[in-house]
Amino acid sequence: MPATRTVISPPASGPSALLDKISVRKPQLEKDFEAKLSAPTDVASGGQFTYTLAIHNGSEVAVNGVQAVLALPEGVQFLGAVGGSATINSSQVIVTIGRLPTSAASTVQITVQVLDSAPKGDQLKARGHVRSSTALPVDAGSVTTKVN
Protein backbone atom coordinates (compact mmCIF):
# COMPACT_ATOMS: atom_id res chain seq x y z
CA MET A 1 0.00 0.00 0.00
CA PRO A 2 1.61 3.30 -0.98
CA ALA A 3 2.06 6.12 1.47
CA THR A 4 0.93 9.41 -0.06
CA ARG A 5 1.94 12.70 1.46
CA THR A 6 1.37 16.32 0.52
CA VAL A 7 4.44 18.46 -0.09
CA ILE A 8 4.29 21.43 2.23
CA SER A 9 5.12 24.59 0.37
CA PRO A 10 3.35 27.89 -0.22
CA PRO A 11 1.28 28.10 -3.41
CA ALA A 12 2.85 29.84 -6.36
CA SER A 13 1.29 31.56 -9.35
CA GLY A 14 1.30 29.71 -12.67
CA PRO A 15 1.67 26.01 -13.38
CA SER A 16 3.56 23.94 -10.79
CA ALA A 17 7.13 23.02 -11.68
CA LEU A 18 7.30 20.55 -8.77
CA LEU A 19 5.25 17.58 -7.74
CA ASP A 20 2.52 18.44 -5.27
CA LYS A 21 2.28 14.88 -3.95
CA ILE A 22 4.69 12.00 -3.60
CA SER A 23 4.02 8.28 -3.33
CA VAL A 24 6.33 5.66 -1.88
CA ARG A 25 5.60 2.03 -2.66
CA LYS A 26 7.24 -0.84 -0.85
CA PRO A 27 6.90 -4.25 -2.49
CA GLN A 28 5.15 -7.07 -0.65
CA LEU A 29 7.68 -9.90 -0.68
CA GLU A 30 5.96 -12.27 1.75
CA LYS A 31 5.52 -14.97 -0.90
CA ASP A 32 9.24 -15.14 -1.75
CA PHE A 33 10.82 -13.69 1.40
CA GLU A 34 10.74 -16.30 4.16
CA ALA A 35 11.11 -15.73 7.90
CA LYS A 36 10.62 -18.51 10.45
CA LEU A 37 10.93 -18.26 14.22
CA SER A 38 11.85 -21.35 16.27
CA ALA A 39 12.59 -22.15 19.92
CA PRO A 40 12.77 -25.20 22.18
CA THR A 41 9.43 -26.61 23.32
CA ASP A 42 10.38 -26.61 27.01
CA VAL A 43 12.96 -25.17 29.39
CA ALA A 44 13.76 -25.37 33.10
CA SER A 45 12.92 -22.45 35.36
CA GLY A 46 16.07 -20.31 35.56
CA GLY A 47 17.47 -21.94 32.41
CA GLN A 48 18.72 -20.33 29.24
CA PHE A 49 17.50 -20.95 25.69
CA THR A 50 17.80 -19.45 22.23
CA TYR A 51 15.20 -18.12 19.81
CA THR A 52 16.30 -18.61 16.19
CA LEU A 53 14.96 -16.52 13.33
CA ALA A 54 15.86 -17.99 9.93
CA ILE A 55 15.50 -15.54 7.03
CA HIS A 56 15.77 -16.22 3.29
CA ASN A 57 15.33 -13.68 0.50
CA GLY A 58 14.01 -15.72 -2.42
CA SER A 59 12.61 -12.63 -4.11
CA GLU A 60 14.00 -10.79 -7.12
CA VAL A 61 14.59 -7.69 -4.97
CA ALA A 62 17.61 -7.00 -2.75
CA VAL A 63 16.30 -5.76 0.59
CA ASN A 64 17.99 -2.92 2.50
CA GLY A 65 17.85 -1.99 6.18
CA VAL A 66 16.70 -5.46 7.24
CA GLN A 67 15.79 -5.83 10.91
CA ALA A 68 14.61 -8.92 12.79
CA VAL A 69 12.16 -7.99 15.55
CA LEU A 70 11.30 -10.36 18.40
CA ALA A 71 8.66 -9.55 21.02
CA LEU A 72 9.89 -11.27 24.18
CA PRO A 73 7.36 -12.74 26.59
CA GLU A 74 7.15 -11.81 30.26
CA GLY A 75 9.25 -14.14 32.36
CA VAL A 76 12.48 -13.98 30.35
CA GLN A 77 15.52 -11.71 30.39
CA PHE A 78 17.52 -10.85 27.25
CA LEU A 79 21.14 -12.07 27.39
CA GLY A 80 22.50 -11.51 23.89
CA ALA A 81 22.09 -11.76 20.12
CA VAL A 82 24.11 -13.15 17.23
CA GLY A 83 23.60 -12.26 13.59
CA GLY A 84 23.52 -8.46 13.76
CA SER A 85 23.55 -5.46 16.03
CA ALA A 86 20.93 -5.73 18.80
CA THR A 87 18.87 -2.99 20.41
CA ILE A 88 16.33 -3.45 23.20
CA ASN A 89 13.12 -1.41 23.16
CA SER A 90 10.90 -2.37 26.09
CA SER A 91 10.14 -6.07 25.51
CA GLN A 92 11.26 -6.01 21.87
CA VAL A 93 14.67 -7.10 20.66
CA ILE A 94 15.56 -5.48 17.33
CA VAL A 95 18.52 -7.00 15.48
CA THR A 96 19.78 -4.98 12.53
CA ILE A 97 21.11 -7.20 9.75
CA GLY A 98 21.52 -4.62 6.98
CA ARG A 99 21.33 -5.54 3.28
CA LEU A 100 20.01 -8.96 2.24
CA PRO A 101 20.69 -9.58 -1.46
CA THR A 102 18.56 -11.81 -3.69
CA SER A 103 18.92 -15.54 -2.79
CA ALA A 104 20.75 -14.66 0.44
CA ALA A 105 19.97 -16.06 3.87
CA SER A 106 20.62 -14.87 7.39
CA THR A 107 20.14 -16.40 10.83
CA VAL A 108 19.55 -14.39 13.99
CA GLN A 109 19.87 -16.03 17.41
CA ILE A 110 18.55 -14.35 20.55
CA THR A 111 19.49 -15.91 23.88
CA VAL A 112 17.32 -15.38 26.94
CA GLN A 113 17.18 -16.62 30.51
CA VAL A 114 13.97 -17.73 32.18
CA LEU A 115 13.44 -15.84 35.42
CA ASP A 116 13.55 -17.96 38.59
CA SER A 117 10.13 -16.51 39.44
CA ALA A 118 8.54 -18.06 36.32
CA PRO A 119 6.14 -20.76 37.58
CA LYS A 120 6.32 -24.32 36.30
CA GLY A 121 3.85 -24.83 33.48
CA ASP A 122 4.12 -21.19 32.37
CA GLN A 123 3.80 -20.74 28.59
CA LEU A 124 6.38 -18.29 27.20
CA LYS A 125 5.01 -17.07 23.85
CA ALA A 126 7.23 -14.98 21.58
CA ARG A 127 6.40 -13.47 18.18
CA GLY A 128 8.72 -12.27 15.44
CA HIS A 129 8.74 -10.41 12.16
CA VAL A 130 11.23 -8.99 9.69
CA ARG A 131 11.05 -5.41 8.48
CA SER A 132 13.14 -3.32 6.13
CA SER A 133 13.41 0.08 4.54
CA THR A 134 12.58 -1.28 1.07
CA ALA A 135 9.81 -3.88 1.55
CA LEU A 136 6.69 -4.44 3.64
CA PRO A 137 7.14 -6.41 6.91
CA VAL A 138 7.08 -10.22 6.82
CA ASP A 139 5.62 -12.23 9.72
CA ALA A 140 7.94 -14.86 11.21
CA GLY A 141 5.25 -16.51 13.30
CA SER A 142 5.13 -17.25 17.00
CA VAL A 143 6.55 -19.96 19.24
CA THR A 144 5.66 -21.18 22.72
CA THR A 145 8.16 -22.59 25.22
CA LYS A 146 6.86 -24.31 28.37
CA VAL A 147 8.62 -23.81 31.72
CA ASN A 148 9.30 -27.18 33.44
C-alpha span between 68 and 97 (Å, rounded)? 7
Average pLDDT over residues 103-127: 96
Give the pLDDT band of residue 59 (cuts 50, 70, 90): very high
Give the pLDDT band of residue 31 (cuts 50, 70, 90): confident
**Which residue in 81, 86, 104, 106 sits closest to 96, CA to CA?**
86
The predicted structure's pLDDT at residue 16: 61
Taking phi over 0 as left and psi of -120 to 50 as alpha, with beta for the rest, 103 belongs to left
**Which residue in 131, 126, 104 sits closest to 114, CA to CA?**
126
Res. 118: pLDDT tops 80? yes
Res. 10: pLDDT tops 80? no
Q: Which helix (H) or strand (E) holds 138?
A: strand 138-147
CATH entry, 29-147, from 2.70.180.20, 2.60.40.740, 2.40.240.20, 3.90.1150.10: 2.60.40.740
Give the pLDDT band of residue 45 (cuts 50, 70, 90): very high
Average pLDDT over residues 38-47: 96
**Which residue in 37, 29, 55, 32 sits closest to 134, CA to CA?**
29
C-alpha span between 63 and 69 (Å, rounded)? 16
**Average pLDDT across the chain, whole number:** 89
Predicted TM-score (pTM) of the model is: 0.81
C-alpha span between 2 and 39 (Å, rounded)? 35
The predicted structure's pLDDT at residue 7: 57
CA 56 to chain centre: 13
Res. 17: pLDDT tops 90? no
